[in-house]
């Protein structure tokens, strides 16, 4: 199978809603690892989690979709994504 060249992005993802569940941050870390994305949670409050995430654009899209759907004990209202310019690779 031929590998497809994908651009790697670095973004700040802000997840808002009822995200106070103690299980959500570990869930985010596990989900990112399964997708092969690097991530770092920079801020976590009952109504907001901010993280920096890096990897192929398609996989970051998958991460956003996963966060919007689960886990069952949180309610995600919105997810905002902002590109982070780190210069050229």
pLDDT digit string (tens) for 41-78? 999 999 999 999 999 999 999 999 999 998 889 999 99
Domain boundaries, the chain: 8-83
d(CA 67, CA 61): 10
Among 6-10, 47-51, 63-67, 85-89, the range scoring the smallest mean pLDDT is 85-89
Protein fold of 8-83: Alpha-Beta Plaits (3.30.70)
Instruction: Characterize 59-86 residue by residue with b for buried, 16 or more Cβ atoms within 10 angstroms of its Cβ, and e for exposed.
Output: bbebbbebbeeeeeebebeebeeeeeee
Higher pLDDT, 20 or 64: 64
d(CA 28, CA 30): 6
Tokens of 40: 């770092």
């Amino acid at each position: 199978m031929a590998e497809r060249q994908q651009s790697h992005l670095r973004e700040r993802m802000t997840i808002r809603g009822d995200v106070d569940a103690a299980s959500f941050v570990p869930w985010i870390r596990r989900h990112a690892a399964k997708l092969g994305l690097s991530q770092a949670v920079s801020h976590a409050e009952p109504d907001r989690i901010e993280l920096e995430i890096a990897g192929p654009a398609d996989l970051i899209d998958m991460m956003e979709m996963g966060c919007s759907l689960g886990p069952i004990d949180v309610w995600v209202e919105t997810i905002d994504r902002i590109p982070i310019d780190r210069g050229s690779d």
